[in-house]
Amino acid sequence: MPAVRSQPKTAETLWSIGLMAPIAATFTFGVGLSLSLPLLSLILESRGVPSYLIGLNSATAGVASIAATSISVPLARRFGTAAGISAALVVAAVSLLAFYAVDALWAWFLIRISFHGALTVIFVLSEYWISAAAPERQRGLAMGLYGTALSIGFAVGPTMLGIIGTSGFLPFGLGAAVIAVTALPILAARGWQPRLEAHGRTRILAFVAAAPLAMFASFTFGAVESGAMALMPIYGIAVGYGTATAALMVSALALGNVVSQIPIGWLADRIERRRLLLACAVVGLAGAALMPIASAEPLWLAAVLVVWGGVVAGLYTIGLTHLGSRYKGLDLVSANAAFVMMYASGVVVGPAAMGAGMDLWRPHGLAVVIGAILAIYAVVAAVRLATARPA
């Protein structure tokens, strides 16, 4: 029988434990992802692994995430949302330690599957929990708060690397500890976990067709965010920065996310969301064009990345706000799974394409590929807006 309360408690305010516990899980997801992507890339770079292989290894995270979305809903229905998140936290912590214990590149491809698969389960279920628990009148603001916590997590990972370095056991051990301890608030809040009814649509791809602009916003964000986090440290080294400074470029990306998510969520409650999605894509494209120009000076590049990262992250926040206002119950968790699947598909495409781009034109192929992805989404968004179809 599912370990879910028949009458779950309701999160009546933004600061209820029913929201804070899953938001803590999204923070941990951000730490795990932002710590692992630059850490593993820098270690592989130090071993002389070419950029395209680093990109392919990072892209394995997307493959794992796509597979994990299919088990997230059945897992939550069978054992409960809190139990599913807690188990995934343990698997992710153990997998992160396995990266330190095993050196073989082929094994890292396999460990990526367990690590990023577990992170995806955390992501899907905590995101669903937040969407289900958010007060309707403050949905956009709640999504902004969620995005802020996620972005702080994204900032913490590379900042930890800048402080403690990338060598030895410490970055792996500390990261695993942060991930594992998050199971405590999740289990404490299990009385607030949302109930999954037996009815509703479960075919994930149906939601992609029903809300294409929101879904492809997730794909675009997944591609540019994961590629940038995985390869921005390599980009920084290629333009002449030291390892610590290069890793902190990822912190600059995350800092922009931290300061922008609540304002973007507030705007998503008040402004037509398709227009906001188009604006985010256009500003992101402009930021990608500025990266090669600003790369000669680390402070200028960091400033560009702060603005760029914050605006591009709006693609995810706005798209998620749209889904939360449109779907409920099992439809909502399935729509969230589709949303994460599209994000994961972007993770497959982004790092691999950017790694190949850097090998073809080192280092600025990174910015070219980022700009191309955002340009394609901007065109799609403009067409959808012109035809006035639902997002």
Tell me the pLDDT tens digit for each residue of 105-129: 889 999 999 999 999 899 888 888 8
Q: Has residue 12 been placed in a domain?
A: no
Q: Has residue 5 been placed in a domain?
A: no
- The whole-angstrom separation of Cα 53 and Cα 202 is 35
Position 62 confidence tier, pLDDT thresholds 50, 70, 90: confident
Q: What is the pLDDT of residues 356-375, one digit of tens each?
A: 898 888 888 999 999 999 99
pLDDT in the model for residue 241: 86
Residue 96: its H or E element = helix 81-101
- The whole-angstrom separation of Cα 241 and Cα 245 is 6
8 A C-beta contact, residue 72 and residue 120: yes
Position 261 confidence tier, pLDDT thresholds 50, 70, 90: confident
Q: Has residue 324 been placed in a domain?
A: yes
Written as six digits, the tokens of 45 are 């770079």
- The whole-angstrom separation of Cα 210 and Cα 208 is 6
Q: What's the Cα-to-Cα distance from 228 to each of 84, 272, 325, 347, 363, rounded to whole Å?
A: 29, 28, 30, 10, 12
8 A C-beta contact, residue 370 and residue 228: yes
- The whole-angstrom separation of Cα 348 and Cα 352 is 7
pLDDT in the model for residue 111: 94
pLDDT in the model for residue 51: 77
Q: Has residue 249 been placed in a domain?
A: yes
Helices 105-133 + 139-164 axis angle, to 10: 150
CB atoms within 10 A of CB 112: 22
Q: Has residue 10 been placed in a domain?
A: no
pLDDT in the model for residue 13: 54
- The whole-angstrom separation of Cα 150 and Cα 320 is 13
Position 84 confidence tier, pLDDT thresholds 50, 70, 90: very high
Top pLDDT among 283 and 162 is at 283
Position 5 confidence tier, pLDDT thresholds 50, 70, 90: very low
Specify which of 7-11, 52-56, 127-131, 174-178 reaches the highest per-range mean pLDDT: 174-178
pLDDT in the model for residue 58: 79
- CATH number of the domain bearing residue 33: 1.20.1250.20
Mean pLDDT over the full length of the chain: 83
Phi, psi of 182 (to 5 degrees): -70, -20
| Residue bearing tokens 């599912």 | 2
pLDDT in the model for residue 310: 87
CA angle 16, 20, 25 (to 5 degrees): 160
Of 11-15, 104-108, 240-244, the one with minimum mean pLDDT is 11-15
pLDDT in the model for residue 221: 92
Q: What is the pLDDT of residues 179-232, one digit of tens each?
A: 999 999 898 888 878 776 555 555 667 777 778 888 999 999 999 988 888 788
Top pLDDT among 245 and 371 is at 371
Top pLDDT among 332 and 280 is at 280
CB atoms within 10 A of CB 303: 15
- The whole-angstrom separation of Cα 354 and Cα 356 is 5
Q: Has residue 2 been placed in a domain?
A: no
pLDDT in the model for residue 94: 96
Into how many domains does the chain fold?
Answer: 1
Range of the domain at 184: 17-387
Burial pattern 170-194, b for ≥16 Cβ within 10 A else e, equals ebbeebbebbbebbebbeebbebbb
Q: Has residue 1 been placed in a domain?
A: no
pLDDT in the model for residue 387: 79
Q: Has residue 7 been placed in a domain?
A: no
- The whole-angstrom separation of Cα 92 and Cα 106 is 19
pLDDT surpassing 60 at residue 299: yes
